[in-house]
Amino acid sequence: MTEPGQKLISFCIPTYNRAQYLRETLACILPQLGPDVEVVISDNASTDGTPEVVDKFQRRFSEIRYFSNGANLGFDRNLLNCLEHASGEYVWFFGSDDLLDGDGVETVRHRILQSPKRPALVYLNHQVVDNEGHLLIPDQIGCQRDQEFSSAAKCVEWLGSNLGYMSALVLRRDLCLPFARTGAFVGSGWIHLHLVLSCLLVDGSVQYIGSSLVRARRSISPDYDLTKCFVEQADRVFWDARRSGYPWLTIYRARNRTVREQYLRFVLAWRCDAPDQLVRSFPVLLRTCWMYPWFWLLLVPLRFLPRWLAVWLRAKGQTLRARRCKNWQLQTVSPPSRWK
Number of neighbours of residue 256 by Cβ within 10 angstroms: 18
Q: How many CA atoms lie within 13 A of 272 on its CB side?
A: 12
Give CA 199 to chain center in angstroms. Answer: 16
| Spatial contact of 253 and 167, defined as CB atoms under 8 Å apart | no
CA distances for 51 relative to 39, 79, 213, 267, angstroms: 15, 17, 27, 39
Ordered alpha helix ranges (H), 59-183: 75-85, 104-114, 152-159, 173-180
The amino acid sitting at 124 is L
Q: What is the spatial distance between Cα 216 and Cα 103, in angstroms, rounded to a whole number?
A: 16
Q: How many residues does the chain have?
A: 340
| Spatial contact of 216 and 140, defined as CB atoms under 8 Å apart | yes
Give the phi and the psi of residue 203 in degrees, each rounded to 5. Answer: -145, 110
Per-residue pLDDT of the chain in tens (340 residues, 90 and over written 9): 666 778 999 999 999 999 999 999 999 999 999 999 999 999 999 999 999 999 999 999 999 999 999 999 999 999 999 999 999 999 999 999 999 998 999 999 999 999 999 999 999 999 998 888 888 888 899 889 999 999 999 999 999 999 999 999 999 999 999 999 998 999 999 999 999 999 999 999 999 999 999 999 876 666 667 888 899 999 999 999 999 999 999 999 999 999 999 999 999 999 999 999 999 999 999 999 999 999 999 999 999 999 999 999 999 887 877 776 666 665 554 433 333 3
Give the phi and the psi of residue 230 in degrees, each rounded to 5. Answer: -80, -20
Q: What is the spatial distance between Cα 16 and Cα 81, in angstroms, rounded to a whole number?
A: 13
Going along the chain from its start, the domains and CATH numbers come out as 9-219 (3.90.550.10), 226-337 (no CATH)
Cross-strand partners of 101 = none
| Spatial contact of 118 and 1, defined as CB atoms under 8 Å apart | yes
| Spatial contact of 144 and 333, defined as CB atoms under 8 Å apart | no
User: Which residue, among 160, 141, 149, 159, has the nearest Cα to 214 in the 3D structure?
Assistant: 141
What is the model's pTM? Answer: 0.91
